[in-house]
Structure 1
Amino acid sequence: MSQPRVPDLPGVGRRENLRDRIREALRAAIISGRLEPGVVYSAPALGAQLGVSPTPVREAMLDLVKGGLVVPHPNKGFRITEVSEEDLDNLAAVRLLIEPPTVRDVVPVIPKEDFAELRTLAQAIVDAADGGDLVGYIEADHVFHLTLLGYSGNRFLVDVVSDLRSRTRLLGLIPLLESGRLGRSAAEHHEILDFVEARDPCGAELLMRRHIGHVRGLWAGGGEPA
């Protein structure tokens, strides 16, 4: 049986923890749909695209197995799990229960001296969108949101949201990137920070609700949510 075509993936470089870098690059490729649901990919083919040997790719994929993103197929590789529309609805519903009220609650407690760093994190999302780096976009988006939620001081909440985000599929990001409209979505992160810096918890909560609506609508390949 012929091997599936592996999409172009950015190299992961020679960072200190290679396995972690590979895992996050693959996670982002799965979430964005660059690695297609239902398709089995081999570690050697993915390693060739990432510019690394198959061993750390296989180890990273085994990490993703634990999160339900892939299923191992002995002597073949790893199959990307499929997520139904109902699953995506349920994931978004849980995120709406957790994230907007948490952002509302952390707005008054975020130290003013942290604003500059949060702006840097938000700008990383914009830069990735402008540079056409979809994997970088998803990674930067992940870091921004979890950092913001981290001000709650509740690591269990952060872990739950991280897992929910990882299980989401954002297949609509590819056409948004190709059409040049991803930058508008990226800019929403600066808008959230505008409310944070203005100490407007209600505004931040409402914008976060709209933001998650985009995740389930435009970003997932559907239409603009009501």
Structure 2
Amino acid sequence: MDHLKGEAPMSEPLNLPDLGARQNLRQTVADALRAALVAGEMRPGVLYSAPALAARFQVSATPVREAMLDLAKEGLVTAVRNKGFRVADLSERELDEITELRDLIEVPTVARIAETIPAERVLTLRSRAEAIVSAAEQGDVLGYIEADQVFHLDLLALAGNAHLLGVVRELRHRSRLYGVSRLAERGELGDSAREHLRLLDSVASGDAGGAASLMRHHLRHVRGIWADRPEP
């Protein structure tokens, strides 16, 4: 594979999730690659080729190439003609702006859910929160990130605003959780995971102020995890 000047080629095996059932391969590959991007498994400055990724997934290059083009439309990667795809980097300012937007959207939304949604509906999400804790205890970084996304989006979905959900989903896709792997290595990921159970209990109890405070604290914690970048 040709190298771009100043760019590192993909050289080490990637930790990527299993594709599982392949009913919509393009979408499944895109979801798996997003998880790897958010986890920091796929690094800025590295050139990834569709054939190499296809070999890792044990599929043809076509659905991988199509999935990467979808990610390029979302601004997550940049297509490099005849070479592959390069992961887009995010500055500290961009990460701060993503956190600010999520704070403006998610904090009041979670408070409103606590005020208006019956506890029994909220508590149907407990298995989602427990899946985050389970992944953390197993040191499964990609499983943690995927379970975290499912929980947060399902919780916000209780507000009944599909447009809001789409905005938050896009913001989450643009984030980078470099520090999750380090927390897992230190055995500290469980503390972050259990924040979701506390948040869920607060929302279910109807404590709007407490839920808002926990959500705000959680976002600040997540921003700290974003900041824990690997050494260049």
Task: Give 2:10's match in structure 1, choosing from 4, 8, 22.
Answer: 4
Does residue 1:48 correspond to 2:55, yes or no? yes
**Which residue of 129, 136, 146 maps to 1:129?**
136
User: Which amino acid in 2 is paired with 1:187?
Assistant: R
TM-score relative to the length of structure 1:
0.92
**2-structure distance, mates of 1:132, 1:18:** 27
Distance 2:98 2:154 in 1: 20
Alpha-carbon distance in 2 for matches of 1:214, 1:220: 10
Of 88, 102, 107, the match for 1:100: 107
| TM-fit CA distance, 1:116 | 4.1
Tell me if the contact between 1:10 and 1:49 (Cα under 8 Å) persists in the aligned partners.
no
SS of 2:178's partner is coil
Are positions 1:165 and 2:169 aligned together?
no
RMSD: 1.6
Tell me by how many angstroms 1:4 deviates. 1.5
Count of residues in correspondence between the two structures: 222
Q: What are structure 2's unaligned runs of at least 5 residues?
A: 4-8
* Structure 1 Cα separation of the partners of residues 48 and 72 of structure 2: 13
Q: Deviations over 1:117-137 (max 9, x none)?
A: 300111111122222222221
Q: Any gaps of 5 or more consecutive residues in structure 1?
A: none
Secondary structure at the residue paired with 1:72? strand
Aligned to 2:68: 61
In structure 2, the CA distance between the partners of 1:11 and 1:95, relative to structure 1 (3 Å rule), is same
Q: TM-score, normalised by structure 2?
A: 0.90
Q: Which residue identity is paired with 1:204?
A: A
More divergent stretch after superposition (129-138 vs 190-199) = 129-138
**In structure 2, C-alpha distance between the alignment counterparts of 1:109 and 1:24, rounded to whole Å:** 32
Structure 2 counterpart of 1:170, which letter? L
The aligned residue for residue 193 of structure 2 is 186
2:222 aligned residue: 215
Deviations 1:71-129 (A, max 9, x none): 11122111000100111111111111111111000113323332443001111111222
- Percent identical among aligned pairs is 52
Give a deviation string over 1:42-96, Cα, whole Å, max 9, x none. Answer: 1111122223222111111111111110011122111000100111111111111
Three-state SS of the structure 1 residue aligned to 2:29 is helix
Secondary structure at the residue paired with 1:83? coil
Matched, 1:203 2:174: no
AA matched with 2:125? L
Contact kept in structure 1, 2:129 and 2:196, CA below 8 Å: yes
Which of 27, 43, 68 does residue 34 from structure 2 map onto?
Answer: 27
Are the equivalent residues in 2 in contact too, given 1:12–1:51 (CA < 8 A)? no
What SS does structure 2 have at the residue aligned with 1:199?
coil
Aligned-partner Cα distance in 2 for 1:195–1:218? 23
